[in-house]
Chain A
Amino acid sequence: MTTSLLIVQILNGLQLGILLFLVAAGLTLVFGVMDFINLAHGVQYMLGAYLAVTFVALTGSFVLGLVLALAAALVIGLALEFLVFRHLYERDHLDQVLATFGLILLLNQGVKIVWGAAPLSVPVPEFLTGSVRLMDGILYPTYRFALIGSGLAVAGLLWFIVEKTRTGMLLRAGASNASMVSALGVDIRKLFMIVFAFGTMLAGFAGAMAAPILSVEPGMGDSILILAFVVIVVGGIGSIRGAFVGALIVGLVDTLGRSFMNDLLRLFMSAPSARATGAALSSMLIYLVMAMVLFVRPEGLLPAKGRS
Chain B
Amino acid sequence: MSATPALPDAAPGEPQAFALPARKRRPLIAIILFLALAAVPLVVSLGLPAHWLTLVTRAMIFAIAALSLDLILGVGGLVSFGHAAFIGIGAYVTGIMITEGRTEALLILPVIFVLCGLFAAVTGAVSLRTKGVAFIMITLAFGQMAFFLAQALSAYGGDDGLTLSDRSTLLGFKPFASRTSFYYVVLAALAGCYLLISVIVASRFGRILRAARENATRVTVTGFDVSRIRLIAYVISGMIAGLSGFLLANQTEFVSPAYMSWARSGELIFMVVLGGVGSLHGAIIGALAFLFAEDALSRLTEHWKVIFGPMIVLFVLFTRGGLVGIIGRLGRRHD
Contact residues in A for B285 (Cβ distance below 8 Å): none
A37 at the interface (CB under 8 A from B): yes
Interface residues of B in 308-328 (CB under 8 A from A): 308-313, 315-317
The CA-CA distance from A229 to B145 in the complex, in Å, is 13
Check A229 against B137 for contact (C-beta < 8 Å): yes
In chain A, what residue has the closest Cβ to B153?
A280
How many A-B residue pairs lie within 8 Å, measured between CB atoms? 133
Number of contact residues on B: which range applies?
35 or more
Check A95 against B141 for contact (C-beta < 8 Å): no
Main secondary structure of the interface of A (DSSP, over half): helix
What 4 pairs across the A-B complex have the smallest Cβ distances? A102-B312, A106-B309, A105-B309, A283-B148
The CA-CA distance from A113 to B138 in the complex, in Å, is 32
Interface positions of A (Cβ within 8 A of B): 31, 35, 37, 39, 84, 87-88, 91-95, 97-99, 101-110, 112-113, 222, 226, 229-230, 232-233, 237, 276, 279-280, 283-284, 287, 290-291, 294-295, 298-299
Q: How far is the CB of A215 from chain B (nearest CB, A)?
A: 16
Contact residues in A for B51 (Cβ distance below 8 Å): none
Contact residues in A for B273 (Cβ distance below 8 Å): 94, 98
Q: How far is the CB of A104 from chain B (nearest CB, A)?
A: 7
Q: Which of B73, B140, B305 is in CB contact (< 8 Å) with A105?
A: B305
Contact residues in A for B155 (Cβ distance below 8 Å): 276
If the complex has contacts A94-B1, A230-B141, are A37 and B136 also in contact, measured as CB distance less than 8 A?
yes
Check B277 against A287 for contact (C-beta < 8 Å): no
B270 at the interface (CB under 8 A from A): yes
One of B7-15, B57-65, B124-132, B164-172 at the interface: B124-132
B46 at the interface (CB under 8 A from A): no
A-B contact pairs, 23 of them (CB 8 A): A35-B133, A93-B136, A97-B136, A98-B269, A98-B273, A99-B312, A99-B316, A102-B308, A102-B310, A102-B311, A102-B312, A105-B305, A105-B309, A106-B305, A222-B262, A229-B137, A230-B137, A237-B133, A284-B145, A284-B149, A287-B142, A287-B145, A290-B138
Check B1 against A92 for contact (C-beta < 8 Å): yes
Q: How far is the CB of A285 from chain B (nearest CB, A)?
A: 10
The CA-CA distance from A105 to B307 in the complex, in Å, is 9
Check B313 against A95 for contact (C-beta < 8 Å): no
The CA-CA distance from A187 to B217 in the complex, in Å, is 33
A280-B152, A298-B130 given; name 5 further pairs at CB < 8 Å: A37-B137, A101-B269, A109-B309, A222-B262, A295-B126
Q: Which of A226, A233, A237 is in CB contact (< 8 Å) with B144?
A: A226
The CA-CA distance from A37 to B1 in the complex, in Å, is 17
If the complex has contacts A99-B316, A106-B305, A229-B140, are A93 and B145 also in contact, measured as CB distance less than 8 A?
no
B299 at the interface (CB under 8 A from A): no
Contact residues in A for B141 (Cβ distance below 8 Å): 226, 229-230, 233, 287, 290
Contact residues in A for B262 (Cβ distance below 8 Å): 222, 226
Check B306 against A110 for contact (C-beta < 8 Å): yes
Contact residues in A for B277 (Cβ distance below 8 Å): 94
Check B149 against A280 for contact (C-beta < 8 Å): yes
Check A102 against B136 for contact (C-beta < 8 Å): no
If the complex has contacts A276-B154, A280-B153, are A95 and B145 also in contact, measured as CB distance less than 8 A?
no
In chain B, what residue has the closest Cβ to A31?
B133
B134 at the interface (CB under 8 A from A): yes
Contact residues in A for B1 (Cβ distance below 8 Å): 92, 94-95
Contact residues in A for B315 (Cβ distance below 8 Å): 102
B247 at the interface (CB under 8 A from A): no
The CA-CA distance from A230 to B143 in the complex, in Å, is 12
Check B309 against A104 for contact (C-beta < 8 Å): yes
Q: Mark B101-138, 1 if CB is under 8 A from A, else 0.
A: 00000000000000000000001001001101110111
The CA-CA distance from A135 to B310 in the complex, in Å, is 53
The CA-CA distance from A104 to B81 in the complex, in Å, is 15
B151 at the interface (CB under 8 A from A): yes
Check B144 against A295 for contact (C-beta < 8 Å): no
The CA-CA distance from A284 to B147 in the complex, in Å, is 10
Contact residues in B for A226 (Cβ distance below 8 Å): 140-141, 144, 262
Check B309 against A113 for contact (C-beta < 8 Å): no
B303 at the interface (CB under 8 A from A): yes
Check A298 against B129 for contact (C-beta < 8 Å): yes
Q: Which of A99, A222, A291 is in CB contact (< 8 Å) with B313?
A: A99
B193 at the interface (CB under 8 A from A): no
